[in-house]
């Protein structure tokens, strides 16, 4: 009986031990699974980028500023250009400088952008002048326009939405590629609120972020930490849209034609307008032709004398 009782005790002891081992293994695997899920989210930034942007897509980008020096053109009066994110720019003479003088901008069919708002992709080419020899010209292949007049701060990046959404954070939803560089990485979002752009421009930017070209962003990184690991967000001080794109998606409405009546005005009633017009009082013979002409609003919406064969003949005779 004693032997049988001891056998039962050993049997139950083995069952308890086996249960403890299984519980420990299950807990360890669960812990490893949780750790693995956290690590994998953090390591996404180190994976090969599915929506990769080659360095060729992000090279030769310049900012420009007008040359305000008072000297003879074309030696003065052109533009100073600078490759973004780089300390030195190669100039037309082959030398390196913080910024280079070019006599002109060859827009090469690209939409023109005012200097203070332009981010241009292109090449500095050498042109010859009979009097001054070799000069530089920036030949543009892409023109981008800032959201407003605010001055950009920080580094310049191309940013695109990867189309990825997560149930945790940080979520590596966007791809950034540093301009004039080979550096790129996945990041936890792009915040463009710091540019203080209008609602229409912000809407255009969010749409453009999902496109192939994305948008250009000047800004800096902010660290973010969460259940999904560690990452950075790109905080914009300014952003740029492809020139012409915003105007095409949000065309300005045509002004409504004025409903004000047209009338004869001017010293000799030789002007047809919807407001008083001050003119000289030097009389001319052709003014007599307008006495019988009809003053009314024309097809272009402006006031004017309606052209007729009689009016044309009268003016020709004078």
- Give 177-229 pLDDT, tens digit per residue: 999 999 999 999 999 999 999 999 999 999 999 999 999 999 999 999 999 99
Helix (H) / strand (E) containing 246: helix 245-249
Q: List the helix and strand counts (H, then E) for the chain.
A: 4, 18
Against a cut of 0.75, is the pTM above it?
no
What is the tens place of the pLDDT at every residue in 79-121?
A: 999 999 999 999 999 999 999 999 999 999 999 999 999 999 9
Helices (H), 58-150: none
Q: Where does the pLDDT of residue 13 fall: very low under 50, low under 70, confident under 90, or very high at 90 and above?
A: low
Instruction: Look over the chain and give the mean of its residue pLDDT values, rounded to a whole number.
Output: 82
What was the pLDDT predicted at 42? 39
Helix (H) / strand (E) containing 158: strand 155-161
Residues 6+ apart with CB under 8 A from 246: 145, 200, 201, 204
What is the tens place of the pLDDT at every residue in 32-54?
A: 333 333 334 434 444 444 445 66
What was the pLDDT predicted at 28? 41
- What is the three-state SS of 3-72? HHHHHHHHHHHHHHHHHHHHHHHHHHHHHHHHHHHHHHHHHHHHCCCCCCCCHHHHCCEEEEEECCCCCC
Helix (H) / strand (E) containing 236: strand 229-242
What is the tens place of the pLDDT at every residue in 59-79?
A: 999 999 999 888 888 888 899
* Choice among 102-116, 158-172, 184-198, 248-262 with the minimum mean pLDDT: 248-262
What was the pLDDT predicted at 49? 45
Higher pLDDT, 178 or 257: 178
Q: Where does the pLDDT of residue 318 fall: very low under 50, low under 70, confident under 90, or very high at 90 and above?
A: low
Residues 6+ apart with CB under 8 A from 125: 92, 106, 136, 137, 138, 139
Q: Torsion angle of alpha carbons 219, 223, 226, 231, nearest 10°? A: 70
Question: Residue 259 burial by CB count (10 A; 0-12/13-18/19+): exposed, middle or buried?
Answer: exposed
Q: Where does the pLDDT of residue 283 fall: very low under 50, low under 70, confident under 90, or very high at 90 and above?
A: confident
Block residue for tokens 């500023």: 65
* Choice among 15-24, 97-106, 231-240, 254-263 with the minimum mean pLDDT: 15-24
């Amino acid at each position: 009986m004693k032997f049988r009782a001891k056998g039962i005790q050993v049997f139950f002891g083995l069952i308890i031990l086996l249960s403890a081992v299984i519980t420990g293994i299950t807990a360890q695997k669960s812990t490893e699974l949780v750790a693995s899920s956290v690590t994998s989210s953090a390591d996404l930034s180190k994976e090969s980028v599915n929506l990769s942007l080659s360095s060729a897509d992000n090279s030769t980008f310049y900012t420009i500023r007008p040359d305000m020096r008072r000297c003879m053109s074309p030696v003065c009066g052109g533009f100073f250009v600078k490759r973004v994110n780089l300390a030195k720019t190669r100039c037309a003479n082959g030398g390196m400088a913080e910024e280079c003088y070019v006599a002109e901008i060859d827009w090469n069919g690209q939409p023109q952008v005012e200097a203070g708002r332009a981010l241009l992709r292109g090449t500095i080419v050498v042109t010859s002048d009979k009097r001054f020899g070799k000069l530089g010209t920036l030949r543009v292949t892409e023109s981008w326009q800032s959201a407003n007049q605010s001055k950009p701060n920080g580094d310049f990046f191309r940013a695109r939405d990867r189309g990825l959404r997560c149930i945790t954070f940080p979520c590596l939803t966007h791809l950034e590629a540093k301009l004039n560089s080979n550096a790129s990485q996945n990041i936890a979002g792009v915040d463009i609120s710091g540019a203080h752009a209008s609602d229409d421009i912000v809407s255009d930017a969010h749409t453009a972020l999902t496109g192939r070209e994305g948008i250009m962003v000047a800004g800096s990184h902010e660290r973010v930490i969460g259940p999904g690991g560690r990452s950075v967000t790109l905080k914009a001080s300014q952003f740029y849209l492809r020139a012409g794109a915003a105007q095409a998606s949000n065309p300005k409405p045509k002004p409504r034609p004025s409903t004000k009546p047209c009338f004869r005005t001017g010293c000799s009633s030789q002007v047809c307008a919807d407001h008083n017009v001050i003119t000289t009082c030097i009389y001319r013979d052709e003014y007599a032709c307008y006495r019988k002409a009809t003053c009314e609003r024309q097809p272009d919406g402006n006031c004017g004398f309606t052209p007729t064969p009689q009016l044309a003949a009268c003016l020709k005779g004078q």
